[in-house]
Chains A and B, each alone.
Chain A
Amino acid sequence: MTTFAYGRSLFLGAFAAGFLAGSAAPAPAQEVNLYTSREPALIKPLLEAFTKQSGVKVNTIFAASGLEERLRTEGANSPADVLLTVDIGRVQQAKDYGVIRPVTSDVLVQAIPAAYRDPDGYWFGVSLRGRVVYASKDRVKQDTITYEELADPKWKGKICTRSGQHVYNIALFGAVVAHKGEAKAEEWLKGLKANLAKKPSAGDREQAKDILAGVCDIALGNTYYVGLMRAATDEQRQWGEAIKVLMPIFQETGGTHVNISGIAMTKGAPNPENARKFMEFMVSDAAQKIYADVNFEYPVKAGIPLDETVASFGELKPDTLPIAEVAKNRKVASQLVDKIGFDN
């Protein structure tokens, strides 16, 4: 009987607690509801700063994927005001679904270069990260590299990366397709695959770890992970210290592939004014500074100082290819990854 008695008291108490927690109805006027695929702890300082400045409370739902589907299904009754994503692909998908609306805002347009916002005003990039090359400090002598060189047989058995199907790689490969066309991109991808030291797996930080362990000499990775690793107080610091960052460039443009954190207002936003305030706040100097300091990302607005570690990577010259072009080629990139068996 003990199990059941224990169970009953636990369940009943818990039952009540669960529903109270779930159904706390917030006051209507001074709030904005945010659906985000950006991890809450990373944006928490931003949200707190916004609330302090504007008095508007921010409610959030965080999920890495599926938020566009949720918005589409919830339709007119959705509580969401703003969608925030960590990748161009998701916010473009939201536009294709017709769940976000265009926003006309001088503040946004002046702060964000044209390459990082939707030509029709549906979405806006609020921060940038480069997809760069991590290289072993000990074993790699060169300090510059091109994306094209990654397919050079001289790197045979020396490159590590996470899955080719991960959104960060898909965006990079999409940029390659945009620059070189599908056939040449496939050839390049085959060359890169032939150079891999091991089957793609895990995340970007693990690739730095593999460089430290001598599994490979170079790896694909995002810039901010290096900031996070070097700021760590444990063994991750060693992973970060074992590598240097090479800013790879495309031969065509001499620029580095960047991806954006995208922000957009939902079509049925119940609090459109607060949503606009929030979006404009995200490109304010204060918010951009927080982005740079807490997230180790590149501010999208000119004139905001970089974090010291990030500045040490050298100057980022973003690829001039509009980010919307990258988004268009995601599907082709993903199919190429399948076709050549990149993840096999």
Chain B
Amino acid sequence: MTTITARPVLPAPRRLFGSAPLWAVAVVGLVTLGVLAPLASLLLTAAEGDAEIWPHLVANVLPAAIWDTGRLLAGIAVLAGLIGIGTGWLVTAHRFPGRDTLAWLLPLPLAVPTYITAYVYVEIFDATGPVQAGLRSVFGFASRADYRFPEVRSLTGCILVMSLVLYPYVYVTARSMFLTQSACMIEVARTLGANRGTLFRTVAVPLARPALAVGLSLALLEALNDIGASEYLGVRTLTVSVFTTWLNRGSLPGAAQVACLMLAVVIGLIVLERNGRRDRRYALSTRRPRVAQPVPLPGWSGIAAAALCSLPVLLGFVLPAGFLIREVARRGLLAQLDASFLAHLATTIGLAGAATLATVGFGIVVVTTSRLSRNGVMRAAQVVVGLGYALPGTVLALGLLGPLVGIDNALNAIWRAMTGARLGLVVMGSAAAIVVAYTIRFLPIATGSLAAGMDRVSVGIEDAARTLGAKPRELVTKVQLPLLKPALATAGLLVFVDCLKELPATLLLRPLNLETLATLVYGHAARGQFENGALAALVIVVVGVVPVIKLTRHAEGQRHMDAAP
């Protein structure tokens, strides 16, 4: 850290937004408007319709949908939570064979889109798949009716598949929390005689709560908004009901009403969680946190730990990726790798990259402004900005159609007044609409991750910096951002990979002739030939894996630096 030269501090008049610069407040306002626009458009659509369809929905659709959704989310919360926290703690607090490798392998399932894992699991574990075929030939069963085997296309199957894809959200955030947890607390607990289990329960987990809340809520929102995997596995979630209400029950307003209801529930949960930890503080002491020395796990317990941590990687990454590689090889799909495929790859990376830059940039402004202003309005803005993720991709895209076309129409009106010619659609006619959608949808990942990191920056450090004469900008660039670096990297990674995989908003908002890898996969799946999309699917996974590995390596490097005194 560079030295901050002392300047005389004059008592400043109290301002509405504290020390936050006005331009930053304006940016936050703009971003908030951007997030509110599709929500408002959704509310307008909902208000268009009467309640005519509700007796039917209440009697025949919603009870089952709510029950299924509830069980799905509860199952994923437990399973993904256990896997994410458990493995995160094992690889951080302990030393065992293969630990360093597993630490960066564990986030990899994140690179595999949920719908791909769902498809692969059905291929492998369904009645005609290799597993059941093997069972039949070993035990001599004639048909599927002769034996019991858990059904993949079921709620249980869906919980398993989604947990395997989504646990990395919990793992990544939990691990970065465990890594920066001050060694003092852990060592004090050890001195007081806490054993490994007590330490995990009473120190590690409570301290990691902000990160866990972020990780788990990302995973659950992702599950709630999923449409591909749930539909394929025959689980009728609320999101599936939104779609059937729109497309089959012929009521877009009804669908918007159900979507608003879902949104209300999500907001309720977010508020509950925030209130739950309102009175706690998670700030680190002013000294640079020192990482506790990992405890070696000898003999069998070490091997057991290695096995436990390998399992999610095998099931969530190796199995689906291996399946895709096999399909690419035996179908000779490398032949698809032509100039247009590479152009689509460039488009995909370009869109994801642009959206990641925008998302992380806006995320920094929103979170630091909220902190600097110490003002309720800015904190509220931070919550509002978090809502984009609570909408299913297609619903967000439908909500965005109106506002984006509104901008286009305004541009056209101006253009026509000036030149008399037709301009056409500028925003909807270019990739800009997709970048806007990605940014709104994934901004909460950035703000969530950064806010959790910010919670751990002690106000004392900032006060000290201010006392030493740091201006607000210096406070952000020299104090907050360096401390937020791990959180920034995590946010950037998660957003980039999510953008690579995003499908529903891309489908609905893309301009003529634009393809991303996800839409290529979807194109094949749409005519029932998913396997022919294996190359595009595999490339999504590979492109997603690169930043995942880079990031975890980076975090490891940091850790060794910290560990060395």
The interface of chain A, by Cβ under 8 A from chain B, is: 2-4, 6-7, 10-19, 21-24, 26, 33, 39-42, 59-66, 69-70, 73-75, 77-79, 89, 93, 163, 165, 167, 170, 198-206, 209-210, 212-215, 225, 228, 234-235, 239, 270, 330-331, 333-335, 337-339, 341, 343-344
Given contacts A7-B492, A11-B353, A215-B127, contact A17 B347 (CB under 8 A): yes
**What are 20 contact pairs spanning A and B, CB under 8 A?**
A14-B354, A18-B431, A18-B435, A21-B514, A22-B351, A22-B430, A39-B524, A41-B527, A61-B510, A61-B513, A73-B402, A75-B409, A79-B429, A203-B232, A206-B122, A215-B144, A234-B330, A334-B249, A334-B250, A337-B248
Given contacts A23-B430, A213-B143, A213-B144, contact A74 B405 (CB under 8 A): yes
**Interface residues in B484-499 (C-beta closer than 8 Å to A):** 489, 492
In the complex, A302→B561 CA distance in Å? 77
Contacts of B154 in A (CB 8 A): 199
Asked if residues B234 and A167 are in contact (CB atoms below 8 Å), the reply is: no
Contacts of B434 in A (CB 8 A): 22
Closest-CB distance, B9 to chain A (whole angstroms): 33
Closest-CB distance, B249 to chain A (whole angstroms): 5
Return the chain B residue nearest A37 by Cβ: B526
Contacts of B429 in A (CB 8 A): 79
Contact of A14 (CB < 8 Å), options: B126, B352, B402, B512: B352
Return the chain B residue nearest A34 by Cβ: B512
Q: Which of B265-273, B453-461, B470-478, B547-555 contacts the other chain? A: B547-555
In the complex, A101→B551 CA distance in Å? 53
Given contacts A18-B350, A21-B431, contact A74 B425 (CB under 8 A): yes
Contact of A198 (CB < 8 Å), options: B151, B233, B529: B151
Closest-CB distance, A327 to chain B (whole angstroms): 10
Is B464's beta carbon under 8 Å from chain A?
no
Asked if residues A18 and B346 are in contact (CB atoms below 8 Å), the reply is: yes
Asked if residues A343 and B351 are in contact (CB atoms below 8 Å), the reply is: no
Asked if residues A93 and B354 are in contact (CB atoms below 8 Å), the reply is: no
In the complex, A40→B346 CA distance in Å? 20
Is B371's beta carbon under 8 Å from chain A?
no
Closest-CB distance, A280 to chain B (whole angstroms): 22
**Interface residues in B141-187 (C-beta closer than 8 Å to A):** 142-145, 151, 153-154
Contacts of A344 in B (CB 8 A): 64
Given contacts A199-B154, A338-B56, contact A214 B143 (CB under 8 A): yes
Asked if residues B234 and A11 are in contact (CB atoms below 8 Å), the reply is: no
Asked if residues B60 and A341 are in contact (CB atoms below 8 Å), the reply is: yes
In the complex, A27→B231 CA distance in Å? 40
Return the chain A residue nearest B412 by Cβ: A77
Asked if residues A3 and B551 are in contact (CB atoms below 8 Å), the reply is: yes
Contacts of A228 in B (CB 8 A): 527-529
In the complex, A74→B409 CA distance in Å? 9
Return the chain B residue nearest A62 by Cβ: B523
Closest-CB distance, A68 to chain B (whole angstroms): 10
The residue in B352, B523, B528, B554 that gathers the most chain A C-beta atoms within 10 A of its C-beta is B528
**Interface residues in B508-541 (C-beta closer than 8 Å to A):** 508, 510-514, 519, 522-524, 526-529, 531
Closest-CB distance, A127 to chain B (whole angstroms): 14
In the complex, A243→B178 CA distance in Å? 56
Given contacts A6-B550, A17-B349, A77-B412, contact A331 B430 (CB under 8 A): no
Asked if residues A225 and B528 are in contact (CB atoms below 8 Å), the reply is: yes
Q: Which of B10-18, B93-101, B393-401 contacts the other chain? A: B393-401
**Interface residues in B255-275 (C-beta closer than 8 Å to A):** none
Return the chain B residue nearest A204 by Cβ: B528
Given contacts A213-B144, A214-B145, contact A63 B60 (CB under 8 A): no
Asked if residues B428 and A18 are in contact (CB atoms below 8 Å), the reply is: no
Asked if residues A213 and B128 are in contact (CB atoms below 8 Å), the reply is: yes
Is B356's beta carbon under 8 Å from chain A?
yes
Is B295's beta carbon under 8 Å from chain A?
no
Q: A59-B512, A65-B243, A77-B409 are in contact. List 16 more A-B contacts (CB 8 A).
A: A11-B354, A13-B353, A14-B351, A14-B352, A18-B435, A61-B514, A62-B523, A63-B508, A69-B398, A167-B247, A213-B128, A214-B127, A234-B330, A333-B248, A338-B60, A343-B236
In the complex, A142→B526 CA distance in Å? 32
Asked if residues A19 and B354 are in contact (CB atoms below 8 Å), the reply is: yes
Contacts of A41 in B (CB 8 A): 523-524, 527
Closest-CB distance, B489 to chain A (whole angstroms): 5
In the complex, A239→B248 CA distance in Å? 30
Return the chain B residue nearest A331 by Cβ: B250
The residue in A14, A206, A235 that gathers the most chain B C-beta atoms within 10 A of its C-beta is A14
In the complex, A73→B397 CA distance in Å? 12
Return the chain B residue nearest A343 by Cβ: B236
Contacts of A23 in B (CB 8 A): 430-431
Return the chain A residue nearest B122 by Cβ: A202
Is B252's beta carbon under 8 Å from chain A?
yes
Contacts of A214 in B (CB 8 A): 127, 142-145
Contact of A234 (CB < 8 Å), options: B127, B331, B349, B513: B331
Return the chain A residue nearest B232 by Cβ: A202
In the complex, A6→B128 CA distance in Å? 44
Given contacts A2-B554, A165-B244, A234-B331, contact A66 B354 (CB under 8 A): no
Closest-CB distance, B444 to chain A (whole angstroms): 20
Asked if residues A17 and B350 are in contact (CB atoms below 8 Å), the reply is: yes
Asked if residues A70 and B60 are in contact (CB atoms below 8 Å), the reply is: no
In the complex, A203→B434 CA distance in Å? 29
Closest-CB distance, A171 to chain B (whole angstroms): 10
Return the chain A residue nearest B511 by Cβ: A22
Return the chain B residue nearest A90 by Cβ: B247
In the complex, A135→B565 CA distance in Å? 72
Contacts of A65 in B (CB 8 A): 243, 246-247, 394
Contact of A335 (CB < 8 Å), options: B56, B64, B236: B56
Given contacts A66-B397, A209-B126, A214-B143, contact A331 B353 (CB under 8 A): no
The residue in A12, A61, A93 that gathers the most chain B C-beta atoms within 10 A of its C-beta is A61
In the complex, A199→B252 CA distance in Å? 27
In the complex, A110→B353 CA distance in Å? 51
Please, what's the 1-or-0 string for B219-250, where 1 marks a CB less than 8 Å from any CB in chain A? 00000000000011110100000011011111
Asked if residues B234 and A335 are in contact (CB atoms below 8 Å), the reply is: no
Closest-CB distance, A50 to chain B (whole angstroms): 15
Asked if residues A239 and B398 are in contact (CB atoms below 8 Å), the reply is: no
Closest-CB distance, A93 to chain B (whole angstroms): 7
Is B383's beta carbon under 8 Å from chain A?
no
Contacts of B243 in A (CB 8 A): 65
**Interface residues in B110-153 (C-beta closer than 8 Å to A):** 122, 126-128, 132, 142-145, 151, 153
Contacts of B489 in A (CB 8 A): 3-4
Contacts of A213 in B (CB 8 A): 126-128, 132, 143-144
Return the chain A residue nearest B551 by Cβ: A3
Is B322's beta carbon under 8 Å from chain A?
no
Asked if residues A77 and B425 are in contact (CB atoms below 8 Å), the reply is: yes
